[in-house]
Structure 1
Amino acid sequence: MQFLREYDREASGMCYRVTISQWKFVTNITDYNRRRMLDELTISSKFERLSWRKAAAYDASRLPDPQGRRQLMKVVQASRAALPDDKFEEIHQLITEMKEIYNTAKICPYGQKPYDPHIPKMPSNQDFMSNQYKLTNQPYQHYRPQQENTEYPNYCDMQLDPEISRILAHSRIESELLYVWKNYREQTGPKLKNRFMRYVQLANQAAVTTGFRDAGDQMRAAYEDPSFRTSAEEVYNQVAPLYKQLFTYVRRRLVQRYGETTVRSDGPIPAHLLGNMWAQNWKSIMDLVMPFPQSPNIDVTAEMLRQGFTPLRMFQIAEDFYTSLGLKPVPPEFWRGSMLVRPSQRSVQCTASAWDFCNRIDYRTNDPYEESMNFLMSMALEKVAYLPFAFMVDQWRWSIFEDGVENMNNRWWQMKLRYQGVIPPVPRSESDFDPGSKYHVISDQEYVKYFLATILEFQIYEHLCIASGHTGHLHECDFYRSRDAGRLLSEIMQPGSSKPASEIIRTMTKGKTNKISPDSLVRCVLLLLRTTMLFC
């Protein structure tokens, strides 16, 4: 079909130009780069609207080619171009404004405002990382060197990354954790709430005009599964028991550290104690929950620092792993264009991300048993702990699209309690907007894909292990230098989004199933579950 061929070529070029402008902005936040980015977004919006009108004029059911029908439906269904011109521009402007508010949020240091010379400065990154496992009861003054703070004489320039995230990960002072948790939300939610409510209205209007029940229904259409919501719920229900066991074990250790006045032994966990702004990744509290703390530390950070590892070297080692499987090395554009460390002389967005520039070239971004248990615990704190959060974000978002914005903050915490078993450490109200502290919520990025990706990660891992000839415990598999594993990985990655996920899963499993399954994840952590039962 001529239209689809032209669209593919033109959309790729448009995507490249927009992504370049966005990349320049987030890696150097200036008014000039912001204007350039907005100019490109305006051009892209006009192209999107024109393409949507052309695609909507076709009757997809009459196309003889199933692939062409699928592509045409995706052009129509994924767009909000059905909105009138003014509202189409408005929703994009709202999303841009919400991103900027999020990216520029700053808070003051803990315990002093603006500056207390009696509290020591935060150690340098290297000193801090070298001593990150030494717990301290002494608060630090978290700010960058004075010469970098001429624009912020009050030193209230702590951003989510790295300063606030570092405190949540490494401080064990409950009052400090509470301070940064609460103050960051005060600098984001209230400023975002009204914009988000208007965004919900416009997103729903676009979805209904395009033929969907609401914007959540439109988001789910991308998964090409009429029963997607039920299917995702079934997968979650299979992994929920794993999370509950991990939760029970971690809660017991937190009670030991902070006492029952802070953490009830039979209740939910206050959200600020889990090492992460959203309680989604608990790996940073490994020092508090390690099953065998006397065994050698499985975290290699200190040794990497001792050997002088740099971010560049870490990326090179990662590349070596993939090339050992027979995959292609990353293109030169990756090394030339990526921002591997945060620059000190300009404002940037440091949320970790990998960028596809749409041109197919540019992609930027001593007891063995006891050691195994510590390794599995570390993995569970990162992966299993993440699953309820990754699942509930869009459960909440879809409910807002379906039922309206009333009591949306209360509904957020109801779902946090239901799925994660966590509660806010201080009272919350509808004047707060705590979902706004999560970038993906305010930037119009669906989130359930991360839940599915985590499940699929283990499913792919097990099949690569099978291809490599591994036998034994799944968590001990290493397919480094296995060309057979590399061939399978290449085979399932090569189609990209040109095929539905179900077809790719069927290829990977050699026809045994076309569904995402958590069985591999369960097998991987089964040994850990048996061990932690002894501690609960």
Structure 2
Amino acid sequence: MWPSFLATFSWILLFGYMIILSKSEVNYDEILHEENEKIRIERQKSIKAQWNLESNITDYNEELVTKASKEYDHFRKQQYNSIKQYLTDEHKQNMTKNQRRQFERLGFLGFSILDENEGIEFKNIQIQMEKIYSGATINTELQTNLTLEPDLTEIFATSTNESLLKDIWIKWRDVTGKKMRKHFVDYVYLGNKAAKSLGYNSIDDVWMFDWEKDSIKQEVERLLNDLMNLYEKIHAYVRFHLAQNYNQSMPNDGTIPAHLLGNMWGQTWSNLLSTIPTMQLKPNLPSLDSEINEKLQNWTVKQMFQMSEKFFNSLGMENMTRQFWEQSIIEKRNDVEMVCHASAWDMFQMHDFRIKQCTRKTLEDLVTIHHEMGHIQYYMNYENKPAVYREGANPGFHEAIGDLMSLSVITPVHLAKVGLLNRSQIEQNLDDLNLNYQLRMAMDKIAFLPFSFIIDKWRWDVFNDDKLTNHMNRHWWELRLKYQGISPPIKRSEKDFDPGSKYHIPAGVEYVRYFVSHILQFQFYKHLCQNVTKMDKLYQCDFYENKMAGKQLIEMLQKGSSDHWENILKDFIGTSEMSTDAIYEYFAPLNRTLSDFIMNNKISVGWNAKVDDYFIEEENSSGSTPSITMNIFILTLISIFIMIS
């Protein structure tokens, strides 16, 4: 009996050893190389279809996007089934850290986890919402078929006609958000279903996968709270000047009407410095935008892009590729309907990177060009990484790189270097120009922060509370009143869907990336300015032509998402913590000046608003989920019929 037991035990040991040996002999690098190449090819097909649709919105291109999305989801399910055996602890313990990271990213299905019919429905909902948004036009008393870009954007940037601005504000929301409300409810239902299939609670949990930090939502709110003191001063300063021009339109609760801020969504306010010159801290000087916009009328749009390329090249970065210049769309095409929202594209094909932008000859769009080209530089620098690493360290990194360049580009000193400002004027009035410049930057950068937080705070709340689908618009205005101190020009109701008037809602793009980018860009800027260029005054720093700054940037960009973003952040600037310190240092002169102005003019700071004052309670028109169920049922019947026939 004893020898028999020993023999059996020996066989068990041998069998266990063979299992361990077989796992240790798996060539993980070879598998990863094959799977990364597969996903690169499939992403290429999907992105090409999306590019074709956004640059030429037709029913045919819609069908191709739906087909490509279906094929991509099918591929991802197949890929997951082929690699899930390597996601076990037994295999992971035999992998390097890099191998584990790649397998885990390949194993995350995201919304591809939906079954075929639900996946098609989910994509079609997004297509329909984007189509409503991109095809929207309005009429005024004097003009017809006005589009967002460039028509309505231009009016908001240049007009002080309060009744016209109010009319446009209302009509834009009527032809966008109001028409997609029911679609959005369906989108939430299916997106949450996908999230639950992945073991999460809601859509935002899927979005947060790339952030790799459970506390990121709380951290973002902490950062916003740190900056509210500065925001409230800017809000009070702007409200004071608006009251002098629009006294009859200003509420008594301290809020600012949303249509008076020079932007369709009240997210950036710097256009006011051109329409209300007395708002400048030094009004005797022309606004940066007015002077530069006038000079840009003598430029071509391509020259604006070449100026941006030259800036990146001066840091030692590569020029744009041949494919970039051949395939990019840098001016609005009048022969087709297209999505004008500026965007940068990695086509996942060798050297094929593109920008799509309906460019206007303005300083604002020149800044946008640098932002989008920052994305392209990121794409170019991590092009040779495995496909699963061809992303920013986190989504906010990607947005921060272009904006980092803009911080340098838009300094008065740099604008003089490139011939957009008069050098003698700079030399004579540098301190005053810098104060005006700081105010302009704050009215874009700081004013934007509560808005960028609200976009996703609102979605996080809606995704996680079924009851809010009946009160979506009310909750939207609760948040805008609370965090931004901005009110609607007329009472709203649940028949409206005002969040849908902003592109990123119908497009399903998470927005906290833009908030984080506004924090990181100042941390990046401080590091490059004080540790590389040795500039004392942060707000005057221009690292144009500084190859050392470029070298450090390139090293960071080339990593893509190959490591946790906090590690990449620490390697780049010496700390893994996000902080508002750099922002307060950058805006220190403005902060002091605003405090003095507010005290000297006895301006009250803050607001005390109630949503009930701006909202009409009535039966909502949110729709319900049965429409989804019916659509999926019909798709299922069609599939069965095809199989039978």
Instruction: Give TM-score, length-normalised by structure 1.
Output: 0.87
Partner of 1:134: none
For residue 285 of structure 1, the aligned residue among 255, 272, 275 is: 272
Instruction: Output the amino acid matched with 2:558.
Output: Q
Partner of 1:528: 590
d(CA) in 2 for partners of 1:336, 1:472: 42
Using the TM superposition, give the Cα deviation of residue 31 of structure 1 relative to its aligned residue in structure 2, in angstroms: 3.2
d(CA) in 1 for partners of 2:475, 2:88: 39
Task: Note if 1:10 corresponds to 2:38.
Answer: yes
Partner of 2:490: 426
Instruction: Output the amino acid matched with 1:330.
Output: M
For residue 474 of structure 2, the aligned residue among 403, 410, 415 is: 410
Instruction: Output the amino acid matched with 1:274.
Output: L
Partner of 1:263: 250
d(CA) in 1 for partners of 2:109, 2:285: 51
Using the TM superposition, give the Cα deviation of residue 445 of structure 1 relative to its aligned residue in structure 2, in angstroms: 1.0
Partner of 2:173: 185
Instruction: Output the amino acid matched with 1:427.
Output: K
Partner of 2:441: 379
Using the TM superposition, give the Cα deviation of residue 335 of structure 1 relative to its aligned residue in structure 2, in angstroms: 0.8
Using the TM superposition, give the Cα deviation of residue 70 of structure 1 relative to its aligned residue in structure 2, in angstroms: 2.5
Task: Note if 1:439 corresponds to 2:467.
Answer: no
Deviations 1:161-185 (A, max 9, x none): 1111111221111111111110111
d(CA) in 2 for partners of 1:371, 1:78: 51
Partner of 1:36: 64
User: Aligned with 1:478: secondary structure?
Assistant: coil
Answer whether contact 2:258 2:487 (CA < 8 A) is retained: yes
Partner of 1:272: 259
Instruction: Output the amino acid matched with 2:513.
Output: K
Answer whether contact 2:44 2:347 (CA < 8 A) is retained: yes
Distance 1:58 1:94, change over 3 A: farther
Answer whether contact 1:193 1:436 (CA < 8 A) is retained: yes
d(CA) in 1 for partners of 2:327, 2:482: 42
Answer whether contact 2:126 2:506 (CA < 8 A) is retained: yes
Answer whether contact 1:376 1:528 (CA < 8 A) is retained: yes
Using the TM superposition, give the Cα deviation of residue 190 of structure 1 relative to its aligned residue in structure 2, in angstroms: 2.4
Partner of 2:137: 106
For residue 341 of structure 1, the aligned residue among 312, 316, 331 is: 331
Partner of 2:639: none
Partner of 2:101: 70
Answer whether contact 2:450 2:483 (CA < 8 A) is retained: yes
d(CA) in 1 for partners of 2:222, 2:446: 16
Partner of 2:18: none
Distance 1:252 1:360, change over 3 A: farther
Using the TM superposition, give the Cα deviation of residue 495 of structure 1 relative to its aligned residue in structure 2, in angstroms: 0.8
Distance 1:316 1:467, change over 3 A: farther
d(CA) in 2 for partners of 1:344, 1:408: 36
For residue 325 of structure 1, the aligned residue among 307, 315, 323 is: 315
User: Aligned with 1:383: secondary structure?
Assistant: helix
For residue 341 of structure 2, the aligned residue among 344, 351, 368 is: 351
Using the TM superposition, give the Cα deviation of residue 4 of structure 1 relative to its aligned residue in structure 2, in angstroms: 3.1
Partner of 1:117: none
Using the TM superposition, give the Cα deviation of residue 303 of structure 1 relative to its aligned residue in structure 2, in angstroms: 4.3
d(CA) in 2 for partners of 1:482, 1:229: 36
Answer whether contact 1:467 1:485 (CA < 8 A) is retained: no
Question: Identity over aligned residues, as a percent?
Answer: 34
Larger Rg: 2
Partner of 2:363: none
Instruction: Output the amino acid matched with 2:120.
Output: E
For residue 191 of structure 2, the aligned residue among 203, 218, 241 is: 203
Task: Note if 1:495 corresponds to 2:559.
Answer: yes
Deviations 1:51-72 (A, max 9, x none): 2344445435441222233333
Deviations 1:186-229 (A, max 9, x none): 11122211111011111111111111122222222220012112
Task: Could you tell me which runs of 5 or more consecutive residues in structure 2 were left unpaired when the two chains were aligned.
Answer: 1-27, 356-427, 599-645
Partner of 1:120: none
Answer whether contact 1:251 1:265 (CA < 8 A) is retained: no
Answer whether contact 1:7 1:51 (CA < 8 A) is retained: yes
Answer whether contact 1:52 1:81 (CA < 8 A) is retained: no
d(CA) in 2 for partners of 1:291, 1:434: 33
d(CA) in 2 for partners of 1:215, 1:25: 25
d(CA) in 1 for partners of 2:597, 2:65: 53
Deviations 1:358-400 (A, max 9, x none): 2352222242221111111111111111111111111110111
Using the TM superposition, give the Cα deviation of residue 32 of structure 1 relative to its aligned residue in structure 2, in angstroms: 3.3
Distance 1:345 1:401, change over 3 A: same
For residue 451 of structure 1, the aligned residue among 511, 515, 519 is: 515
Answer whether contact 2:87 2:103 (CA < 8 A) is retained: no
Deviations 1:75-121 (A, max 9, x none): 3445123323221221111111111111111111x22xxxxxxxxxx
Task: Could you tell me which runs of 5 or more consecutive residues in structure 1 were left unpaired when the two chains were aligned.
Answer: 112-140, 143-154
Task: Note if 1:19 corresponds to 2:47.
Answer: yes
Partner of 2:225: 237
Higher helix proportion: 2
d(CA) in 2 for partners of 1:55, 1:200: 29
For residue 468 of structure 1, the aligned residue among 524, 532, 539 is: 532
User: Aligned with 1:282: secondary structure?
Assistant: coil
Instruction: Output the amino acid matched with 1:238.
Output: D
